[in-house]
Structure 1
């Protein structure tokens, strides 16, 4: 299965937007602006000239950016699409094959192998498909486009730094449409900050060396706040009379308090001494999870709730957890219904972001507020009944 690339991952990059970030207009003017800005940031003029000599706009990058309907798929369906027995078996096989590499990562950065194996699987199907977009063209195209130039423009200068080191070729380096490179799909800035020579050959080769790619990914997760020796997600069973308004990342309690409220583990004991949140990605009749602090680090990698839930759940499967109990979730909304719901919520004054048919954090928060106002179970899962009442 060809993996899916997510531009939302760009939001993880801790970059400061430049004061002058022009987009659109004559392309030659845009390129000259990049050269001026590169020089102001300390990049040698010759480096910028050589890097930008052959770059061009790639319409296929914009088409990929605007075609992200996969975010509309509910969690259970999404997880079944991405997690197959073959992927689990290959993940465990790779875990054994690179056992020494994962041991070093766990010792140095505190990141469990299941976490990195899940990213490796989802991002590039264990390195088998890393994307064939010219990376320089992708970054320039997305910076030139006026949707989110502040996210992509700084990545061009990071790529120039890699080019100056001899670690990036603007003519031949390829990757995902959103500019990520290598087996775990890292952006140029993240490579500059977290690239590690994991196999000891003197170079950082994220495209050809699993040891380099996985070690770099482990270091990046640690830099984003991953806490060594702590879990990230576990499936739980909730009582039928549970207070659904207590679910969601907005509410965190000690495990002891959740246990007192009737939250029971489904795969081994819960870890005491940690704050955690109860998550029900498809409402009160679907699967339920306890999310520990490390779960929040996933959002520094990717901003899609469905992707994050699936990657975190897959990591637990690779570490031995049982197949989730999907339950019997209430019927959700299709894309057009979700857009209609977002329009109505926006009309009521809620900030739901773009009207895109995606159940993002803004839409989910608005749904919970309206469920409470209407006397419905506050589980954050939009249904035709809610849409009808609105």
Structure 2
């Protein structure tokens, strides 16, 4: 399946498009609304009818969306589940096999090969598992569902644009349950805006061309803010007595300022002292600690999960020579039900935790850190049974 015949880039497809239809309700009526909006956007009615002709609500997509239990695991468990010796070995082999492509991606877009290998591994096991969900069904189902319609509704029209160009067959295009396509799992709008013909054959085939997939992933990261020749993460050791309220992504200092507070690398040396950085402790101050930089924050443009991004960034350091993290001895965390209870109690105290979903995301971590400080507990953003009892 080919994507673009040319390298034309659409800067914005549906940015600012008014959402004239709410989510939910009768699925057939919802699809009718999408058709009407597409026609109002200037698409030929016959094209629109062909695009939506066989669309259906896919309950398996909803089930997959609700079944993301792995994101509830703490960092040590999550990272050990995703980073196997087999993946490390395959990462090294794929780097050697496609070294010229990775070198080209780094020259053109400034993205380190380790980052691209990490996401390629996590997304599809280097292209082996790309998903067999019908892409249009998945996108329309998730646009109709009321959990994240603002994310998926624009992607329906991006897929329609791909179909108009002859680059997506709504009957046969398949991918991940969330509508991503190809070896590095990109949504239609990112394919339109950032896909690259990496192998120079005049087509962009993200499902079958390693060069196209690698270069397109690098292109997207650069467009989202990746800074060439800058680091993304380095493991560090915390000094005794560090003010833990300074940990987390909300606090930024120069590397030199962190060093003056006693932060030290666990291996090698830290980068330039003038670079701005944060200190994250994904499983609390008794677990691994990392200094992270602007490029780490850019990775949230690829995936919004804190635990996923942290693990991918760490895996990228391993692929580029870093040793295994110092696991430490973290305090016991909370199970999913306890986390939901904690989130509910935090909301009752006026904190914004995002969704009450039992997942320790960035908003919940920030709220936990603030309430820990209020209660005189170690304010590292890691929720424990002791914190739950205190609330």
Aligned length: 378
Secondary structure, counterpart of 1:370 in structure 2: helix
Secondary structure, counterpart of 1:249 in structure 2: strand
Name the CA distance, whole Å, in 1 between partners of 2:105 and 2:27.
43
Work out whether 1:58 is the aligned partner of 2:58: yes
Which residue in 2 is equivalent to 1:374? Answer: 375
Equivalent pair of 1:21/1:153 in contact (CA under 8 Å): no
Deviation at 1:105?
Answer: 0.3
Secondary structure, counterpart of 1:251 in structure 2: strand
Which residue in 2 is equivalent to 1:129? Answer: 129
Name the CA distance, whole Å, in 1 between partners of 2:115 and 2:298.
11
Deviation at 1:103?
Answer: 0.8
Which residue in 1 is equivalent to 2:263? Answer: 263
Name the CA distance, whole Å, in 1 between partners of 2:86 and 2:80.
12
Secondary structure, counterpart of 2:154 in structure 1: helix
Deviation at 1:42?
Answer: 2.3
Which residue in 2 is equivalent to 1:277? Answer: 278
296 and 332 in structure 1: CA distance in 2 versus 1, 3 angstrom threshold:
same
Deviation at 1:353?
Answer: 2.2
Deviation at 1:29?
Answer: 2.1
Runs of 4+ in 1 over 6 A off after TM superposition: none
253-262 or 365-374, larger mean C-alpha shift: 365-374
State the TM-score, normalizing by the size of structure 1: 0.94
Deviation at 1:25?
Answer: 2.6
Equivalent pair of 2:91/2:319 in contact (CA under 8 Å): yes
Which residue in 2 is equivalent to 1:241? Answer: 241
Deviation at 1:14?
Answer: 9.1
Name the CA distance, whole Å, in 2 between partners of 1:355 and 1:17.
29
Deviation at 1:224?
Answer: 0.3
Deviation at 1:135?
Answer: 0.3
Which residue in 2 is equivalent to 1:80? Answer: 80
The unaligned stretches of length 5 or more in structure 1 are: 1-12
Work out whether 1:91 is the aligned partner of 2:91: yes
Work out whether 1:163 is the aligned partner of 2:163: yes
Name the CA distance, whole Å, in 2 between partners of 1:80 and 1:222.
29
Which residue in 2 is equivalent to 1:9? Answer: none
Q: After superposition, what is the alpha-carbon deviation per residue over 1:7-62, rounded to whole angstroms, capped at 9, x for unaligned?
A: xxxxxx99445331332233332222112211222222222111111111111011
Q: After superposition, what is the alpha-carbon deviation per residue over 1:43-83, rounded to whole angstroms, capped at 9, x for unaligned?
A: 22222111111111111011111111111100111000000
Equivalent pair of 2:159/2:188 in contact (CA under 8 Å): yes
Name the CA distance, whole Å, in 1 between partners of 2:325 and 2:150.
39
Name the CA distance, whole Å, in 1 between partners of 2:219 and 2:119.
14
Which residue in 2 is equivalent to 1:205? Answer: 205
Secondary structure, counterpart of 1:250 in structure 2: strand
Equivalent pair of 1:21/1:150 in contact (CA under 8 Å): no
Equivalent pair of 1:17/1:151 in contact (CA under 8 Å): no
- RMSD between aligned residues: 1.3
Q: After superposition, what is the alpha-carbon deviation per residue over 1:202-222, rounded to whole angstroms, capped at 9, x for unaligned?
A: 110000011101110000000
Name the CA distance, whole Å, in 1 between partners of 2:277 and 2:152.
34
